[in-house]
A and B are shown apart, each in its own frame.
Chain A
């Protein structure tokens, strides 16, 4: 370690792969027919997704009654899943936009994939607000449109802000992702032998000819979009947290929620990206592109955000006590000691304690351990939303209306199914588009950029 030369920026790509070599590497999955393993994976995720479809079909046919939600607990798995998946969707844009603005080159290997995950996670999340309503066929009422009743949406409702925040985030993320894909589409167009593919790639590459002008425009657009997306990364989960923070329910009504939710979202998003990338780099032989150093850095971010989340947990308790509001302090004591204490302690164990393992370099660089830790983080973050939503609602102001919430089979089906939905998209993505940005990686390969050193 001591021999490391810190004056020299290390290449984020190991070895010195040639450009043609990189082209071959990244387009290989697209050129080859899917193998058996892919079909097995797809059938598993597809089966899980059918659980989601079946669960939602039951819900739409019979009503929300097929879920475990009850009178004090109006929201449960539905909104827990929503917040969880929106949270997962945070890493992508953070990696591609914020890290881009900060000129973090190590992001290039993982940005494309993380962005894809963002898109799919937000799509998964988007299902819940639409289908958690009692009459989904009237979900159009949630959008402002002119109508003969002069009925307008209620702009004071955080749920409406959600609609705007999530749809904006989705739109911008999608555009950002697509813009990044344009040069790669052109590369694919050049390489493909199939006529149909050629037409498709031509259309999507928007006439890209790798000209200097194109590159200049591209860089500018990418920069502007990164600037656009950056506040969105922060705003989406801030607004999601408003769903709770703006209410008056003890345990929800907390000013710490916006930063705490954003930190939590980044935390869980990175955990999910790390989990999936571990498979991707192995399966597609991208170990030198998505290097152990990159994973190490992601683990560090997890440790930081995990500690922020832990701090928020502690601060919530402190403020609850400090405020002197009985209902507030009870809400938090009830989390730790009440009927849902099991969920609370799962959350604390997974979110606060396990990420602390990343203080150790060995842990950060051991793939099996970091994988398990990140899985714990995801479990923990799901439980964090469960704890916030369900425990607060199940015991609020009037003890007479307190009730325990128990999920039903359909709740479980929808939760599992949401993973199926998400991973089905991920799997199709790995076969449909280059999962690593060809153009960007080429730009950060050692020696790709002109330097004084090279002329020496």
Chain B
């Protein structure tokens, strides 16, 4: 062995190598095995040198480290060790239930995430509201998480246990039974058959009980009138969808009265201009300016005190050729009236109205407002009979009356009994009579004479502070229940969260007292009671093949059970007209008290979302006011914010005025529900308590009142600047700038292209985005929008939009992503109103995007104008450059802006939708087209292995809109509704000439007047 050989082979790895196999040499020559370096091509490598790369890496790491320093530990996140069967983390569960915000009992779907309710939507299966729900219903979720709810039973100011409170109360009840004193139970309208049964059981146990049911607003007057003319209080529904002509007699049936969600759906189904022209004609005769009035084709200004005469005068005009034979007395009464009295510049409208009513006999409806007197309702019933409009009464859906409302006489007599010491115990069953009841009863004073006052309430109120016992009850979302409001529709309510505080179901509390022992109470006491009642009253009716349990669960799943319950149609009686005479009409002013659009009768005064929703007409938030006509304001030398003193029957109230175009000259309108004194921080001292004027419950029109200017002002905050209508400088800008485009049905029929007559070609000098896949877009039909604001509140809840308070709203810093703009044209006395929901237009050439210095707002490939909140530094440049001014800036940390840190508590924070980032201060935000819903739909589509369709996504506003005015979808899908709508002759974009290419299409409003001109 030579030395070289020896050296060579010191180390060998294989025998092949030892034997100098050429393959080994070959392999050794190439450092890497063949194939390993195939993909390695130095020219394709990044030209970044290693040094540079390391430098960049180090810098990035340093920046990343610095960027992470503001991480703050906000508490623990605990995973489910034992996952509840129905909960999948990150997926929402929906539960069908029933809304208890008002007495209409709409079906709702409660969306819960990880056991926590976060959103209330309408239940699509429910026959009444068909998937839609009003502002109050949606915002009521905030009340669940209200930190100012009552947490424990209280005896005076001392928290006590339920057991001791129950035993004390039971013995008090037994005492009064023994003493023969009265037990008075006050409740609002009862819509639940099971609650009714509990009340009856209570009455059976404590036989000295009397039940008083009242409501400040409601259909009591309508029922009373119906009873007189048709012999029953159960009046039928109206087939709005079949009416060609509608006359609303001071009836806000699209705003606050009846089930306005259902009314809106039916009414707007006849405001169809896209696929076909099918438009009804709405006349509104009113003194105030209501949401319904804004929708009217013809609006006739008539004081609410003159409505009786007005309706009779109409009857006089249409009496000829009527099939109804009238009594001599009625004829005589009608003959005394004359329509010419109401002409006053409106004669043209009146003659149109009379002609239309005659031409549409049996196809029109006259509808009186809830707030008007019984006489007006009688007259309206008569007028409908004369016109043969009874064909539009739907007797299959009569309004049920479970617990008749107490009359004013009954309420007076109980007040007297209280004062005389004949009432021993009073139970306030979730109602607030100290605030609500007519002040003539002097209920608060009478209450002091009663030994035991028990108030079941969710939060402290004017009544509970005067009570011996205040007992906290469950929020609606923590409660079981049922409702039977309309014949044939039975809704079920189920809890979606266990009680947050030591609260109890209000019916369960009564059941405990009925049992006579505090130990009887358990969590499911009312649940069982409800099931029993359901089985006996509903299951038995349905003849279902399913067994009881299955049927119950399926009903609970659906939230509603329907059955046939058609009422008999009673004949019209004219007896009630005997003795009626035309009132002597005084020349003075009339005060019309109406329900607040959003806080109801005051029940929702502690709900920031509702307080901050702008009034549909005046756009005022956080206040009520006396709205007066412009000419009356001139006469009294009044301007907006000036204080006036209004006196009615010796009661005075100082309240700011709002000069409201369109108000009848002698009418003063104030909304009730405001001026709550004992309530949480949000609602305290918001507005003015005009309930003091209510001398009799249900009487909401007061004549001959006096009004005078007093010193001082009170700042009303409106989300829209109030421009004087007669200021020619800014008049009709919405028309001149083509923000709102309108026409009439006549015009459209004669000239379908009237909108797009002058087609302007806009050219872009920059490269356009290309949208090859999905491209999101929305359309809003201005014919349908009633400005009910359901979309606004839905958006608030879905997108975690903070409440900013009155001071910030006054400063123009409200945060709502969606707003409804209101414009007037015409004259101040007789304005034409146009409403326009306005939200981010997601422009293709978005002017906000190119000015953001940090690229925080940019465009997605599917056409969304996006915001990267964590990139936003808050220069506000995007908002300045937005022609639609839809961007919203967090001027403060609005979550803790309130001095009392209203938002900054663990409870309220639970209302947040976990899918939507909570924005910090200094960040710009805006409508995202509900990108979280788009993403959810997309991941579902991917999971299911199908294409994402435009219809898979329903935005929050679209979901809420009771008029179905909003359509959302993929414009690149040529078959989709949205694609068709965008090419419609009536479709237009706001500020088209800016060439920002918005993706929200508006359908021009066609007014159904006898003219080709809008004005």
Contacts and interface: CB of A to CB of B under 8 A. Distances in A.
By size class, the interface of chain A is 35 or more
B854 A153 contact: yes
A397 B888 contact: no
Nearest to A141: B854
B891 A63 contact: yes
A63 B885 contact: no
Task: Give the interface SS of chain B, mostly helix, strand, loop or mixed.
Answer: loop
Interface string B220-249: 000000000000000000000000000000
B650 to A, nearest CB: 41
A127 interface: no
Interface stretch (A23-31, A69-77, A169-177, A433-441): A69-77
B871 interface: yes
Interface string A325-341: 01100100110011000
A312 interface: no
A326 B730 CA distance: 11
Interface in A129-168: 132-136, 138-139, 141-142, 145-148, 151-154, 156-160, 163
B877 interface: yes
A136 B813 CA distance: 20
Contacts of A157: 850-853, 877
Contacts of A163: 853
Q: Which of A75, A135, A334, A338 has the most CB of B within 10 A?
A: A135
A141 to B, nearest CB: 4
Contacts of B814: 71
A58 to B, nearest CB: 12
Contacts of A102: none
Nearest to B894: A65
B100 interface: no
Nearest to A401: B885
Given A146-B56, A157-B850, A159-B851, A134 B737 contact: no
A450 interface: no
A71 B891 CA distance: 9
A134 B884 contact: no
A396 B737 CA distance: 11
A397 B874 contact: no
Contacts of B56: 146
Contacts of B923: 134-135
Interface stretch (B57-65, B91-99, B704-712): B57-65
B879 to A, nearest CB: 5
Nearest to A160: B853
Nearest to A339: B721
B563 interface: no
Contacts, number: 180
B733 interface: yes
Contacts of B737: 326-327, 397-398
A99 interface: no
A285 interface: no
B876 A69 contact: yes
A142 B853 contact: yes
A330 B823 CA distance: 18
Interface string A357-400: 00000000000000000000000000000000000010011111
A223 interface: no
B884 A70 contact: no
A74 B922 CA distance: 12
B734 interface: yes
B113 to A, nearest CB: 29
A411 to B, nearest CB: 13
Nearest to B868: A151
A62 interface: yes
B557 interface: no
Contact of B885 (A132, A138, A398): A398
Contacts of B889: 64, 71, 74, 134
Nearest to A247: B881
Contacts of A147: 60, 63-64
Interface in B50-73: 56, 59-60, 63-64
B838 interface: yes
Contacts of A396: 883, 885
Contacts of B714: none
Nearest to A389: B880
A249 interface: yes
Nearest to A130: B873
Given A64-B874, A142-B873, A157-B853, A397 B991 contact: yes
Given A63-B921, A248-B881, A400-B822, A154 B853 contact: yes
B854 A63 contact: no
Given A145-B63, A247-B847, A134 B852 contact: no
Interface in B890-943: 890-893, 897, 920-924
B892 A62 contact: yes
Given A65-B813, A135-B922, A148-B63, A71 B879 contact: yes
B851 A135 contact: no
B855 interface: yes
B739 interface: yes
B510 interface: no
8 contacts: A65-B813, A71-B813, A75-B877, A134-B923, A153-B855, A397-B739, A398-B821, A400-B836
Interface of A: 62-65, 68-75, 132-136, 138-139, 141-142, 145-148, 151-154, 156-160, 163, 243, 246-249, 326-327, 330, 333-334, 337-338, 393, 396-404
Given A249-B880, A399-B733, 11 more contacts: A64-B876, A72-B812, A146-B60, A147-B64, A151-B855, A154-B855, A157-B853, A243-B877, A326-B736, A333-B729, A402-B721
**Interchain residue pairs A-B with the least CB separation, the first 3:** A134-B874, A134-B922, A74-B876
